[in-house]
Amino acid sequence: MANYVSEEELKKQNEFLKRLRNINEDFYKINGRRPKCNTETYGCQQNENDTERIRGILKEAGYEFCDTCEDADLVIYNTCAVRENAEDKVFGRLGILRHIKETRPELIIGLCGCMVQQENMAEKILKVHNNVDLIFGTHALFRLPELLLNVIEKRKTVTDVENSDGSICEDLPILRESDSKAWVSIMYGCNNFCSYCIVPYVRGRERSREPERILAEVKELVKNGVTEICLLGQNVNSYGKDLESPCDFSDLLRLVNAIDGVKRIRFMTSHPKDFGDKLIKTMTECEKVCHQLHLPFQAGNNRVLSEMNRRYTKEEYLEKIEKVKKAIPDIALSTDVIVGFPTETNEDFEDTLDVLRKVEFDMIFSFIYSRREGTPAAKLGFVLTDSEIHKNFDRLLEVQNAISKRKNDEYVGKICSVLVDGTSKNNENMLSGRTDSGKTVNFKGDKNLTGKYVDVEITEAHTWSLNGKLI
């Protein structure tokens, strides 16, 4: 059963928060403005959700937010450890901050998240970037008021990276990106230990939140105008295994589905080994659960899957997909694919392409394998050359892009219910939103429609999005 942060610890952090707020009030009196914070997030939705909590704490402490590090008094990067590319971006940003801090030494630089949780990573960072003031791991987020106060008052580098599974902290302030949609973490950590993945080492073992706490959070969100809920976990299908009272993920879905005011329910991520008939039945019977499923298969070859420690075969995966399609004919499917796992051959890769062609995913998230120190796969030698791996990656995209375009073409002429997110990121004259199936739709309309459900007729299909007109 999961450990929760004690009431005493939360009271202590609230006292630190008050002291931090007082310091920032003095800053306002002296400078005529609030101190500004810039946050950047790398990685998955769980990191995005953590950043919302970080921003919630900082808002309570009296900070305002800005879009650039050049305008900031405090910069916090929430980091990812899943791929080397994400780490490289963070180190690149630290290089930029070094120059800014040379002219503004009072700038506070903080790093948190999965990357810093890796063994000896804090020491490695500080050895090269001694201008970093604060480093805290995934388990120390709730201690941010205390840590930041120590940096400000003592003007020394503070680190808090513990090697434990961590405790769940409830009721932290949170500043969400959207007023109509919200992520709700139902569990933390992972027990699967896929041979390529660093997540169990940096986020700890699985800890499920009590269903009563989850439902209370959802009800509060609905009270504040949220209508779409996305339930988050490294493997939501494992939810409830550590609870004293029996409640698995299917049970939890039904409980959330019964809450008045919730209109859409999404979830991610599911692991194929735990995805079964009970969940499929629940998805068909719960009218608020979106007809969308993200089910990562990672590789199509059984030997590679075994060496990845995925604990299912290609045939078992395809069988589950067929069951889903039969039960929910309009289901939109997405997946994760790794290209270039160390022992993967060109012949093995053909099995991956075969899965793409058989399933016909609406969308895939594809990655070239990234070696992560401390994982079993990091000890394996590569069969393919870097050039061969990149050629396979290009072939993967070619096959999938054609499938995605064909699937999107099927939407032309249909009328879809779209939850409006706001102005399109690519065209300020258009609105953007998502269908029940998770498709991005761009269309002309009034910005006041943000957060509302509207009917849009699809007029044009692209590979990754749809265009339409408001009905």
How large is the average pLDDT for residues 3-22?
Answer: 93
Chain centroid, CA 132 distance in Å: 25
What domains can you pick out in the chain, each with its CATH number? 7-160 (3.40.50.280), 178-269 (3.30.750.210), 291-409 (3.30.750.200), 415-470 (2.40.50.140)
Q: Which of the given ranges, 38-47, 86-95, 332-341, has the highest pLDDT on average? A: 332-341
pLDDT for residue 57 = 97
How many CB atoms sit inside 10 A of residue 95's CB? 11
Torsional sign, CA 169, 160, 137, 74: positive
Proportion of the chain above pLDDT 90, given as a percent: 91
Give the sheet arrangement for strand 264-268, strand by strand.
181-185, 228-232, 264-268
- For residue 451, is pLDDT > 80? yes
Short-list 185, 192, 163, 196, CA closest to 229:
185
Residue 167 has a pLDDT of 83
Give percent above pLDDT 70 in the chain: 100
Is the pLDDT at 164 greater than 80? The verdict is: no
CA distances, 410 to each of 140, 216, 287, 405, 446 (Å): 47, 39, 23, 9, 27
Strand partners for 112: 78, 136
List, for residues 270-292, the tens digit of each pLDDT value: 999 999 999 999 999 999 999 99
More confident residue, 108 or 166: 108
Judged against a pLDDT cut of 80, whether residue 256 lies above it is answered with yes
The model's pTM is 0.94
Residue 3's pLDDT band (boundaries 50, 70, 90)? confident
Q: What is the pLDDT of residues 236-247, one digit of tens each?
A: 999 999 999 899
Chain segment 177-212, per-residue pLDDT in tens: 899 999 999 999 999 999 999 999 999 999 999 999
Question: What pLDDT sits at residue 60?
Answer: 97
DSSP 8-state class, residue 261: T
At which residue do the structure tokens 């919200």 appear?
A: 182
SS3 207: strand
Question: For 66-125, how does the pLDDT look when each residue is reduced to its tens digit (9 = 90+)?
Answer: 999 999 999 999 999 988 888 999 999 999 999 999 999 999 999 999 999 998 999 999
- By C-alpha distance, which of 244, 247, 252, 242 is closest to 217? 252
- Contact between 39 and 141 under an 8 Å Cβ cutoff? The reply is no
**Average of per-residue pLDDT values in the chain:** 95
Picking from 251, 165, 263, 178, the residue whose alpha carbon sits closest to that of residue 214 is 251
Q: What was the pLDDT predicted at 444?
A: 96
Q: Which two tokens stand for residue 125?
A: 């960072």
pLDDT in tens, 295-329: 999 999 999 999 999 999 999 999 999 999 999 99
Please tell me the predicted confidence (pLDDT) of residue 1: 66
What mean pLDDT is predicted for residues 421-437? 94
Task: State the Cα–Cα distance between residues 387 and 390, nearest whole angstrom.
Answer: 5
